Amino acid sequence: MMGVSISVAGASRAFGGVYAVREVGLDVPPGELRAVIGPNGAGKSTLFALIGGQLALDAGTVRLDGARIDRLPAHRRARLGVSVVFQGARIFPRMTALENVMVGAHTATRSGFLTAALRLPAHARSERLIASRARASLDRVGLAQWADRPAESLPLGQQRALQLARALCGRPRLLLLDEPASGLRTGEREHLAALLAELRSEGLTMLLVEHDVGFVMRLADRVTVLDLGRVIAEGSPAEVRADPAVIAAYLGD
């Protein structure tokens, strides 16, 4: 799972004349785990959507391994290996855990989700391949034994793990996780932290937004701090912790 570099420059996006993200720059080399922190409304989720292509930039560029991707629709970025797991469980409740994860593989392949949903005959062989990949992803996040359960029957922590399994099944080269630990119990958090550390050691590039600052500070190589849509600090976890601007804006409370 070789990671890619992600480079955001001069990124701006406004809603109704108010900037959610303003002239943001971010350079993350391959294999880095970058934490993005900041108070509520700082623009973290908007930044992720600008990278994933769910939102369009008003200005600026996004480059993946040096190549511009900011004009590409989200599904094309997904095919290039950009995978965003947004806040809030977006699962298909009636589908099984396995089927939910298989969707992740389909969105990352040319055949796409629609052809899969229509169950075209040519699809059957690759379908088996995808199912085996999906099982491996479920296994990775500790959900192997729940593969055939409807997703809605899983507790929140496992639904979170399911979202992550779905993203991993698409073989991302850049994984963006928006508050993956929120709502998780201590044991589940530890499990997630261990998995993220493992993915990092495999060279996957990751951006991680998380409310629990302690959680990200332990895992991150570097930290970018947003406030009111702007980058107010960037550095190692230790540097950021000691930064007066960060303490004033965010860590002080």
Quick one: which of 46, 107, 159, 224 contacts ligand ADP (CB under 6 A)? 46
Q: Which is nearer to Mg ion, 34 or 44 (CB)?
A: 44
Residue 83 is a binding residue for Mg ion (CB under 5 A): no
- Shortest separation between residue 169's beta carbon and Mg ion, angstroms: 24
Residue 241 contacts by C-beta under 8 Å, 6 or more apart in sequence?
A: 217, 251
Which of 150-163 are b and which e, b meaning 16 or more Cβ less than 10 Å from the residue's Cβ? bbeebeebbbbbbb
Which ranges in the chain belong to alpha helices (H)?
Answer: 44-52, 74-79, 97-107, 112-118, 124-140, 156-169, 186-201, 213-219, 237-242, 244-246
Quick one: which of 3, 43, 52, 81 contacts ligand ADP (CB under 6 A)? 43
Residue 60, SS3 per DSSP: strand
| CA dihedral of residues 26, 32, 33, 36 (deg, nearest 10) | -10
Quick one: which of 7, 12, 45, 205 contacts Mg ion (CB under 5 A)? 45
- Shortest separation between residue 23's beta carbon and ligand ADP, angstroms: 15
Residue 46 is a binding residue for Mg ion (CB under 5 A): no
CA distance to 85, 136, 190, per residue, from 235 (Å): 24, 35, 24
Residue 85 is a binding residue for ligand ADP (CB under 6 A): no
Residue 221, SS3 per DSSP: coil
Residue 228 to residue 38: CA distance in whole angstroms:
9
- Shortest separation between residue 105's beta carbon and ligand ADP, angstroms: 28
Q: What string marks each residue from 7 to 36 as x (binds ligand ADP by CB under 6 A) or -?
A: --------x----x----------------
Give the range of 24-32, 38-46, 113-121, 180-188 binding ligand ADP by CB under 6 A: 38-46
Residue 38 is a binding residue for ligand ADP (CB under 6 A): yes
Catalog residues that contact ligand ADP under the rule CB under 6 A: 15, 20, 38, 40-46
Catalog residues that contact Mg ion under the rule CB under 5 A: 44-45
